[in-house]
Amino acid sequence: MIDIKLIRENKDLVKENIKKKFQDEKLPLVDEVFELDKRVREVQVKADGLKADKNRLSGEIGKLMKDGKKEDANKIKEDISKMSNEIADLEKEQDCLTINIREKMMVIPQIIDSSVPIGHDDTENVEVQRFGDPVVPSYEIPYHADILEKVGGIDKDSAGRTSGQGFYYLLGDIARLHEAMIAYARDFMIDAGFTYAIPPFMIHSDVVTGVMSFPEMQAMMYKIEGEDLYLIGTSEHSMIGKFKDQIIKKEELPIHMTSYSPCFRKEGGSHGLEERGLYRVHQFEKQEMIVICEPEDSMKWYEKMWKLTVDIFRNFDIPVRQLECCSGDLADLKVKSCDIEAWSPRQKKYFEVGSCSTLGDAQARRLGIRAKGEKGTYYLHTLNNTVVATPRGLIALIENNYQEDGSIKIPKVLQSYMGGKTSIEPKK
């Protein structure tokens, strides 16, 4: 949610930003908010004037009664009563206007950073740089679900019977490898100075709408029937929500935390071959990172955060690239975002394994996350980034470490988490 001062003082900037995101249907909202805000301030001035008059007249009643002018005093009391009713009506109008403004402001997108490339959708995202050489081996890389079946590491049939499409059982060494990736990512982030946390996996609706836009919520979130609770789609939601309505001491900044959680997403639609594997599933596990910092430090943290994900995947012997998200691919609360994509030697292309975003003060405004400085309280900036999300990260590891004999080489950094194992062999 943007600062309403931008609409008061620079409507053209807000409208231009909407155009850059190709959301022209939202342009009328800017003028609507401008007029509503103007009316709110008019109502406030009128109410304040009436309150001042009421206080002044109230002070005269005692004097009139003392002078025996009871009739005059009663007349003033009648005037005060009328003023009180008018003030109540104005305050009611102001409350309705404020709610209306907030509803419209929640839909107006955050101002994007000037460095964001302009484009309609994810097909116009821009590759920035690559890390590691993408290799296609001389032997065939099977589909990842087939590799997992050969090593006895997956059972989707049973998951279909217990839970339906989009679920899975990971078994044996593959299940262990999955957890090894998460554990390594956790320890890597702790070593990088981040505080480890395991957050709640369900959150209230006011936290959901504080961290994401309504269309995102509808597309992603599972609601608990009969309760004001949603299953999280990422631990960023509950981690940022942790600081709701808090005034954070400046000496405590920046706050940088890494969190583990299962994640739950609707992932609607059919996706062909990938439906049989682990690309699009309704539950997965993830190590996440979040930062809450001073506004002037957010871009510095943004650069640091995505590079940490790159380092982890390179330690897994996986080539990756950074892809800058264009304006039309940015969710409404985001100022700037990039995807980290891993190389798939089977598909001979990259696919997304993580996303890093700075949201400026959008989430902080919605959730009331502030700090107190010399000039009063102000909103902080929030950032989030995927450290490792499995099973997508697992797919990338399996494909890039698949050997010609059907085995899967275990990267050196994960071997201690696997009891010293160096490879996972196919079943006889």
In the chain, what are the domain boundaries? 4-105, 122-424
Pick the CATH number of 4-105 from 3.40.50.920, 3.30.9.10, 3.40.50.720, 1.10.287.40: 1.10.287.40
pLDDT at 178: 97
DSSP state of 167: -
- C-alpha torsion 303→359→298→181, nearest 10: -40
Q: Is the pLDDT of residue 315 over 90?
A: yes
CATH architecture of 122-424: 2-Layer Sandwich (3.30)
Q: Is the pLDDT of residue 187 over 50?
A: yes
More confident residue, 88 or 69: 88
pLDDT at 274: 54
pLDDT at 54: 87
Q: Is the pLDDT of residue 272 over 70?
A: no
How does the average pLDDT of the chain come out, rounded? Answer: 93
pTM for the predicted model, two decimal places = 0.90
Q: At 273, is the pLDDT very low, low, confident or very high (cuts 50, 70, 90)? A: very low
List the beta strands (DSSP E) in 198-238.
202-203, 222-223, 230-231
The span from the CA of 79 to the CA of 57, in Å, is 9
Range name among 111-115, 212-216, 219-223, 282-286 with the lowest pLDDT average: 212-216
CA distances from 367 to 91, 246, 252, 263 (A): 24, 9, 18, 22
CB atoms near residue 344 (< 10 Å): 20
Mean pLDDT along residues 358-372: 97
Answer yes or no: are the C-beta atoms of 266 and 221 closer than 8 Å: yes
Q: What SS3 class is residue 112? A: coil
Range name among 125-139, 273-287, 303-317, 390-404 with the lowest pLDDT average: 273-287
pLDDT at 275: 58
Q: At 410, is the pLDDT very low, low, confident or very high (cuts 50, 70, 90)? A: very high
pLDDT in tens, 249-270: 999 999 999 999 999 998 755 4
